[in-house]
A and B are shown apart, each in its own frame.
Chain A
């Protein structure tokens, strides 16, 4: 029982890191970026290539995946995304889904279409078990590691958003671009940095998740639905919303597959429908702002 809960939390944390960038761009910048999963895939492939071909240790690959995807995100934001901010949502969706398809095809061409395999270092492979019988808690070390990393990131993100100057600038820019700019905030730089961090987090999530979710060129398409559900259910106003939504979905998904394997795959969708009927705006809605 506890093992299932533990696995669910690990999976939920992973979903959160993968989706939080999407929540930020969608909620704060009002831009629908369906290519978000492509950044995650990029991070995963960077890790795989570095580890397999250049023997870079896993722990160094993770920040590298983050940095590389953040840089790529920054470049793309500056060149491709910025002109799209003012366009309608339909244009944004078409543009970013097109970008996703291009990323999928490019990855297929350069890396081949087969599943990539991440070799974890020895110290992450083990498993610790506590307790007995139905209350037994078995913790895979890698999942423990995921939870630790994601929890640390969540706290850091929350701190940056609420307590730092950058956070208040970002919130100000989102609430009213013109006034924020009038107060001397460089809105473009704020958005650039936010987008880059969001992409970097996706890259990190992809690197962490390659082991659990598998990694092949269709990764962005396979997992897009899950990211979108997290954002839709969690609402886009804060990061606590997506965090709770991701945890809820992770636990529901794992528990559903365990207890009713025949319908396991549908539990998530069912949950989403129920929540959205109950609260169409998502679990958390920000009051004020626009």
Chain B
């Protein structure tokens, strides 16, 4: 007898719960944010999560009659984990949008799930050109590596007065991408690449490579390394007296990542980089963003990852507004294409054809500003499309 009462009671409870779940689903709009919160890429995850939460705090969580819910998952930068989490989010949590993705392999592993489930996938960090081609449901709000390296090559040849350049990259996917795009464009612009050096990821003592660069006597040294290693390159660059030998250090903005720049010390001064965002970008929108971000995160400075996350949230919010909270995955995707707005990084839009971000690439030099090291912009290349797509 007792057993039966218990059974029916639990049946009622289950029904009540499931109907509550159904109700909740009607009223909530779920964003599954998959980020590396631990491990090597944890700073990426931290920045994006903080930015996404800031955006929601500023814009409220009720959009078009729906309550926006953010589900953050940690993939520890392991692509298999990213894929599994994406599957769980789509199948169990029934998320409306997938977002985040710290590294390229994670994004590529998830792309088939986005295609099959027709869930828009907003890439907020990973920067390899081909990601948007992996699924018609991918939209990118970060940047692409070719955008930065090609812009750097243009500037170095035209305005930087460099004819001979050595490239030095870490021996992994993004490094090789950066090397290739810089090299092709620089040669196209009439420059010479004296040498292309690849540094192993493990046990990186840059001394022998930098010595080789010094002996090759180029005008400039183009560097792409993971952001932490950037500081080591700069220090040894100075220690070896390469600046005095007339070699200029240039690179994509990854090496002077705002998250770490201030700890790098005076060695970073004068380094020229090309990137889409600097915390010191002089616009009212950005000032507000940086202030609010620092206030909410104990003075942490937003970097280019944060701005990718912030703009990604905006793209999702706008798409939700445009579809009045009614549309499914494809409607949302269409509403994301072609969005134009003023981001903290400056004007940007989502190219409707490639679903990739188009924005200005700035040339910046590291200078001391208000007692802190900053990337100070001194030149701009407007509306740069991803050069990796033109072929």
By a beta-carbon cutoff of 8 Å, the part of chain A in contact with chain B is 3-4, 7, 11, 52, 108-109, 112-115, 117, 119, 125-127, 129, 138, 140, 142-143, 211-214, 216, 218, 222-223, 226, 253-258, 261-262, 264-265
Distance (Å) between the CB of A108 and the closest chain B CB?
6
Knowing A112-B42, A216-B228 are in contact, say whether A261-B241 is a contact too (CB < 8 A).
Answer: no
| Distance of A218 Cα from B40 Cα, bound (Å) | 8
Complex contact A114–B197 (CB within 8 A): no
List chain A residues, Cβ under 8 A from B171: 265
List chain A residues, Cβ under 8 A from B238: 125
List chain A residues, Cβ under 8 A from B228: 114-115, 117, 214, 216
| Distance of A108 Cα from B40 Cα, bound (Å) | 9
Distance (Å) between the CB of A154 and the closest chain B CB?
21
| Distance of A254 Cα from B204 Cα, bound (Å) | 11
Knowing A114-B43, A117-B264, A127-B241 are in contact, say whether A258-B202 is a contact too (CB < 8 A).
Answer: no
Stretch from B208-216, B291-299, B347-355, B381-389 forming part of the interface with A = B208-216
List chain B residues, Cβ under 8 A from A138: 211, 240-241
Complex contact A3–B211 (CB within 8 A): yes
| Distance of A223 Cα from B300 Cα, bound (Å) | 31
Distance (Å) between the CB of A13 and the closest chain B CB?
13
Complex contact A264–B211 (CB within 8 A): no
- The contact sample of 27 A-B pairs, CB cut-off 8 A, is A52-B263, A108-B38, A108-B39, A112-B42, A112-B43, A114-B42, A114-B43, A114-B227, A114-B228, A117-B231, A117-B260, A117-B263, A117-B264, A138-B211, A140-B240, A211-B232, A212-B205, A214-B228, A214-B229, A214-B232, A223-B203, A253-B205, A258-B209, A261-B195, A261-B209, A264-B200, A265-B202
| Distance of A148 Cα from B169 Cα, bound (Å) | 32
List chain B residues, Cβ under 8 A from A214: 204, 228-229, 232
Whether, in the assembled complex, B207 has its beta carbon less than 8 Å from a beta carbon of chain A, the answer is yes
List chain A residues, Cβ under 8 A from B41: 113
Complex contact B198–A262 (CB within 8 A): yes
List chain B residues, Cβ under 8 A from A213: 203-205
Partner of B265, one of A108, A119, A265: A119
Chain B interface size, as a band, is 35 or more
Complex contact A140–B265 (CB within 8 A): no
Partner of B239, one of A52, A109, A140: A140
Partner of B208, one of A117, A126, A255: A255
List chain B residues, Cβ under 8 A from A218: 40
List chain B residues, Cβ under 8 A from A52: 263
Distance (Å) between the CB of B374 and the closest chain A CB?
17
Complex contact A115–B207 (CB within 8 A): no
- Within B176-223, the residues touching A (CB, 8 Å) are 195, 197-198, 200, 202-205, 207-209, 211-212
Complex contact A254–B208 (CB within 8 A): yes
| Distance of A226 Cα from B236 Cα, bound (Å) | 22
List chain A residues, Cβ under 8 A from B43: 112-114
Complex contact A258–B208 (CB within 8 A): yes
Query: What is the chain B residue whose CB lies nearest that of A109?
Result: B38
Complex contact B207–A7 (CB within 8 A): yes
Query: What is the chain B residue whose CB lies nearest that of A3?
Result: B211
Complex contact A113–B38 (CB within 8 A): yes
Complex contact A117–B265 (CB within 8 A): yes
| Distance of A222 Cα from B228 Cα, bound (Å) | 15
Additional A-B contacts beyond A218-B40, A254-B207, A258-B212 (9; CB < 8 A): A11-B205, A114-B43, A119-B265, A125-B238, A127-B241, A256-B208, A257-B205, A258-B209, A261-B209
Complex contact A115–B200 (CB within 8 A): no
| Distance of A79 Cα from B198 Cα, bound (Å) | 45
| Distance of A108 Cα from B238 Cα, bound (Å) | 30
Distance (Å) between the CB of A271 and the closest chain B CB?
15
Distance (Å) between the CB of A222 and the closest chain B CB?
5
Partner of B209, one of A140, A143, A255, A257: A257
| Distance of A210 Cα from B41 Cα, bound (Å) | 20
Please encode chain B, from 125 to 151, with 1 for each CB lying within 8 Å of some chain A CB and 0 for all others: 000000000000000000000000000
| Distance of A143 Cα from B238 Cα, bound (Å) | 14
Of B39, B195, B207, B260, most buried by chain A (CB within 10 Å of CB) is B207
| Distance of A125 Cα from B208 Cα, bound (Å) | 18
Complex contact B231–A11 (CB within 8 A): no
Knowing A113-B42, A114-B228, A114-B260 are in contact, say whether A7-B239 is a contact too (CB < 8 A).
Answer: no
Query: What is the chain A residue whose CB lies nearest that of B38?
Result: A108
Of B202, B208, B236, B239, most buried by chain A (CB within 10 Å of CB) is B208
